[in-house]
């Protein structure tokens, strides 16, 4: 039922640009930012998505966060929104959207997830975007489809699936994916990636250097960046998890989340068939 990733089977379907590829053909990724004092997680996710190859990456931010974000980004664009309806309009032309990192555990995050679910974008829901549905997970699951991805660590997983981890991580992730109707990435030393159709992989190149604040935000952005390039959701999650760990292992002691995006080119170069 499970398979290792010594020879990752997603390698053959990684999205590489051709000579005539333009930025929009490489996919449009949105990352929803938190409020003015909570923008760092979204910036990490956006940079992860950009580094892994998404052609256009935008931070979708509350109006109050514009002044904070504007001097902190370069290639990443800013798209302010005043309410969930405007957010949905901004996301409607995007291929994938990451929502949840430092979003806030509040009604605004619930409304934003609802609004994004009505767009054509594939969703990566992480962190606060998961925790905010504690106690009523069925409301979240009703919004999802098989292209969407949930990326909980064990604490967040328990908030949505309080009865499953007693069965072991692999079975828990498989049952969670079936219940949610979406891909589930159960993060940990051996991250388990499960799809609602029964596919499952246990990632085996985990590293302790990822135990640092913000590393999960980078991973969410990387998954979103591959989704934006129209990679299959399960393959995108498997690839991003492996590449994320490989980048961290290559850096080693002293790693902080800000280092991860800049380690991605070396890992990608090793995977590129044209090298």
Is residue 65 within 8 Å of residue 134, measured between CB atoms? no
Nearest to 125 by CA among 173, 184, 175, 76: 184
Is residue 207 within 8 Å of residue 249, measured between CB atoms? yes
Q: Look at strands 149-150 and 192-194 and give their pairing.
A: unpaired
How far apart (Å, rounded) are the C-alpha atoms in residues 51 and 117? 25
How far apart (Å, rounded) are the C-alpha atoms in residues 32 and 45? 9
For 122-168, where are the alpha helices, taking DSSP H only?
A: 128-131, 137-141, 154-160
> Across the 275 residues of the chain, what is the mean pLDDT of every consecutive 10-residue run?
54 94 95 97 98 98 97 97 98 96 98 97 98 98 97 98 96 98 97 98 96 98 98 98 98 98 98 85
pLDDT confidence of residue 274: 77
Q: Burial, 64: exposed, middle or buried (Cβ in 10 Å; 0-12, 13-18, 19+)? A: exposed
What is this structure's pTM?
A: 0.96
pLDDT confidence of residue 167: 87
Q: Which residue ranges form the domains of the chain, and what is each CATH number? A: 25-145+209-268 (3.40.1190.20)
Taking the C-alpha atoms of 48, 52, 55 and 59 in order, what is their torsion angle to the nearest 10 degrees?
-10
pLDDT confidence of residue 1: 34
């Amino acid at each position: 039922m499970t398979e290792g990733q010594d020879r990752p089977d997603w390698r053959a379907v990684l999205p590489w640009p051709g000579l005539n590829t333009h930025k929009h053909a490489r996919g449009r990724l949105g990352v929803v930012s938190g409020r003015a004092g909570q923008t760092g997680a979204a910036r990490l996710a956006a940079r992860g998505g950009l580094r892994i190859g998404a052609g256009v990456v935008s931070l979708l931010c509350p109006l109050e966060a514009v002044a904070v974000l504007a001097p902190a980004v370069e290639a990443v664009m800013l798209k302010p929104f005043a309410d969930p309806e405007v957010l949905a309009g901004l996301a409607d032309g995007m291929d994938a959207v990451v929502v949840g990192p430092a979003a806030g555990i509040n009604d605004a995050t619930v409304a934003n997830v609802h609004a994004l679910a009505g767009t054509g974008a594939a969703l990566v829901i992480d962190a606060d975007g998961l925790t905010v549905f504690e106690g009523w997970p069925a409301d979240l699951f009703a919004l999802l489809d098989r292209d969407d991805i949930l990326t909980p660590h064990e604490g967040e997983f328990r908030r949505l699936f309080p009865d499953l981890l007693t069965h072991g991580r692999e079975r828990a992730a498989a049952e969670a994916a079936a219940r949610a109707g979406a891909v589930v990435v159960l993060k940990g030393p051996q991250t388990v990636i499960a799809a609602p159709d029964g596919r499952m992989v246990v990632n085996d190149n985990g590293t302790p250097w990822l135990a640092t604040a913000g590393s999960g935000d980078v991973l969410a952005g990387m998954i979103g960046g591959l989704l934006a390039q129209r990679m299959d959701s399960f393959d995108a999650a498997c690839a991003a998890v492996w590449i994320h760990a490989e980048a961290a292992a290559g850096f080693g002691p002293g790693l902080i989340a800000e280092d991860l995006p800049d380690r991605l080119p070396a890992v990608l170069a090793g995977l590129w068939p044209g090298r």
